[in-house]
């Protein structure tokens, strides 16, 4: 495993980070989820990312159980706040002071820890003054409940303003967690340059485009049984944007590139995002322990410039680069 600094902080994290979205407490039985965490630890992964909304808090509980016997100082545990949790009451969502303060306490209880290393705003809240949100984060850091603060799917402008306020309030906003892959590069034109200027790193989710970059989805054929595209609990909704024949045909053209690099297609996808110097970590999930061991092989891989160029040539114009997609796909009102 290789480790990278997160933003301009002194915190090092594993460049392959284990995330349990859409798996723990939902798609994967708890015992299998614990086996996946064990496999991650055995592979040198020290950084674990979750969120209170995953499986409506159950994912945090499963992760807490899986990690409770580990030395806390050897781990970096990340979670998030924003989306509705609990019964969905009027204050059970968003980035108000009330919801943030109640949410951090619930997350710590479920994760069985006194603090998280990184507490992230899961989306931008257009209905709460940013000053209120950032003051709540400042107090959480001051109380020792979180060491650092991050954001997820914020625009470059929102990150600029968040960093400005964090400096005024005396805490460190050091990370951004966006979707990023060979197929989805919307952060490259605006978010990445802003973050490089501000000392903020990317922790990227979906580096294999919800499994599409593994090559298992073939043009003109139905999705494989048991794949994310057949998951009616939410997975199918996220992957469907990539399940077009023109995309799938281009993805198949990556197979000889992966072969030349000595990687599986999934490993190539993870290694590709790690070539971006502003990326501190790629988030990977797993429904089986052996998937963790395979993903970890992307750590420390350097892709030659000619291979990077061949990837661009193979994918051509099916790559999404429009930076407005970050704001377009963000919630403009809180979910009820």
For 245, counting Cβ atoms within 10 Å of its Cβ (0-12 exposed, 13-18 middle, 19+ buried), the class is exposed
DSSP state of 241: G
Interatomic CA distance for residues 271 and 259, integer angstroms: 14
Strand partners, 32: none
Interatomic CA distance for residues 244 and 270, integer angstroms: 22
- Whether 54 is catalytic is yes
Distances (CA, A) of 290 to 42, 145, 232: 11, 34, 24
Q: Interhelix angle for 289-296 vs 265-274, to 10°?
A: 50
End-to-end, the C-alpha distance of the chain in Å comes to 41
Interatomic CA distance for residues 195 and 190, integer angstroms: 9
CB 285 within 8 A of CB 22: yes
The catalytic position among 3, 5, 18, 54 is: 54
Which residue matches tokens 């919307």?
186
Interatomic CA distance for residues 168 and 135, integer angstroms: 10
Distances (CA, A) of 287 to 233, 290, 293, 304: 15, 9, 12, 31
Interatomic CA distance for residues 287 and 33, integer angstroms: 7
Q: Look at residues 228, 230, 231, 244 and name the one whose alpha carbon lies nearest to residue 319.
A: 244
Q: Which residues are catalytic?
A: 54
């Amino acid at each position: 495993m290789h480790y990278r600094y997160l933003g301009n902080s002194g915190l090092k994290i594993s460049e392959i980070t284990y995330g349990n979205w859409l798996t723990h407490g939902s798609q994967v039985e708890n015992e299998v989820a614990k086996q996946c965490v064990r496999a991650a630890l055995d592979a040198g992964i020290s950084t674990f990312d979750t969120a209170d909304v995953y499986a409506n808090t159950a994912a945090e509980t499963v992760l807490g159980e899986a990690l409770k016997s580990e030395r806390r100082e050897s781990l970096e545990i990340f979670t998030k706040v924003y989306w509705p949790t609990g019964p969905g009451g009027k204050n059970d969502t968003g980035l108000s002071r009330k919801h943030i303060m109640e949410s951090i306490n619930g997350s710590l209880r479920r994760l069985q820890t006194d603090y998280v290393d990184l507490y992230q705003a899961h989306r931008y809240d257009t209905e709460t003054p940013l000053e209120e949100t950032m003051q709540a984060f400042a107090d959480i850091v001051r109380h020792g409940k979180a060491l650092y603060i991050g954001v997820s799917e914020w625009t470059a402008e929102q990150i600029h303003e968040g960093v400005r306020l964090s400096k005024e309030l005396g805490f460190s906003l050091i990370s951004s967690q966006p979707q990023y892959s060979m197929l989805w590069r919307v952060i490259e034109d605006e978010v990445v340059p802003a973050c490089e200027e501000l000392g903020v790193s990317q922790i990227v989710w979906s580096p294999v485009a919800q499994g599409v970059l593994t090559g298992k989805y073939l043009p003109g054929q139905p999705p494989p049984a048991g794949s994310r595209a057949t998951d009616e609990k939410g997975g199918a909704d996220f992957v469907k944007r990539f399940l077009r024949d023109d995309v799938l045909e281009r993805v198949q053209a990556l197979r000889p590139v992966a072969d030349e690099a000595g990687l599986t297609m999934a490993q190539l996808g993870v290694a590709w995002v790690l070539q971006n110097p502003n990326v501190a970590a790629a988030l990977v999930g797993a429904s089986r322990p052996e998937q963790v061991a395979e993903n970890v092989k992307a750590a420390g891989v350097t892709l030659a410039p000619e291979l990077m160029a061949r990837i661009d040539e193979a994918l051509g114009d099916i790559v999404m680069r429009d930076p407005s997609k970050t704001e377009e796909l963000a919630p403009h009102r809180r979910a009820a």
